Homo-oligomer: A and B are copies of this chain.
């Protein structure tokens, strides 16, 4: 189960009543934050989420509207009593930029920075071997990355097989967790009692970018695809292209090919006053499109069984 909260839905600058775009993915009581523009720490409080519980911060790129809230966020995490290290992942330049941004922050815990390289990277979320980050390069005016969070789901436990094989009950839980057992009772492996891995969960997040193949590939069959859309009005397509962003329709065309279960739009231009207005035309391209708003949240659950 993944709890998703879109903290803000704006781009360029924070506005009264519209926070800058960032996403919290909550798993087993821990928070993963994607992007932190100015005000994100306030949006997080408004959403009832605790900055204290952020273990991993993923940065898409180093434009102000995506990182200027980082020092304040880290400072407030410190004020809240956090002492455990935090990992920050982002584009090349991170190891130089983050310390500068945080020049007056006074952070009482270790910040571990990791700069992405190449076109793709995959790594586990700290503390969870079943939850992975797939980072993928997208197409913006500066080096920018999108992120999928991918939660594995083990196969079904076959209690009948465990009984038939006389595997003592005390080992069942460890086998379910993928552990191999070498004991006086015998040698037991997970494949003896576990069915094939089941479909897990995937949330794919991308902003800022032009439409590109890496996004289409990342969003394939995602349970949730959070995608930027600067403008609803297709007549602003040229402006969107010029600024290396996309329109709602362009986002919907990506979704129509990638088939996520649903798409949330976000990162609206300050000039985009009423995203809902454009939903009819956008849903003609991809029916399961929803306009993001500050605090929009949802829970992604495993399929029944």
Contact = CB atoms under 8 A, between A and B. Distances in A.
B13 A76 contact: yes
Interface stretch (A102-110, A155-163, A186-194, A285-293): A102-110
Interface residues of A, number: 29
A195 interface: no
A65 to B, nearest CB: 8
A64 B13 contact: no
Nearest to A98: B103
A16 to B, nearest CB: 5
A69 B38 CA distance: 7
Contact of A41 (B38, B62, B63): B38
Nearest to A103: B100
A154 B71 CA distance: 46
Interface string A2-20: 0000000000111110000
A42 interface: yes
Given A64-B71, A101-B104, A104-B67, A79 B42 contact: no
A275 interface: no
Contact of A39 (B39, B64, B100): B39
A243 to B, nearest CB: 12
Contacts of A104: 62-64, 67-68, 97, 101
A51 to B, nearest CB: 10
A68 B76 CA distance: 12
A72 interface: yes
A236 interface: no
Given A67-B104, A97-B103, A104-B101, A72 B13 contact: yes
Contacts of A38: 38-39, 41-42, 69, 72
Contacts of A69: 38
Contacts of A284: none
A100 B14 CA distance: 21
Given A16-B45, A46-B16, A104-B101, A72 B76 contact: no
Contacts of A131: none
Interface in A1-53: 12-16, 38-39, 41-42, 45-46
A75 interface: yes
Nearest to A76: B13
Nearest to A62: B104
Interface string A53-74: 0000000001110011101100
Nearest to A40: B38
Contacts of A97: 103-104
| 10 A-B pairs closest in CB distance | A100-B100, A38-B72, A100-B103, A16-B46, A62-B104, A68-B72, A64-B75, A13-B76, A14-B42, A39-B39
A156 to B, nearest CB: 44
A18 to B, nearest CB: 9
Nearest to A42: B14
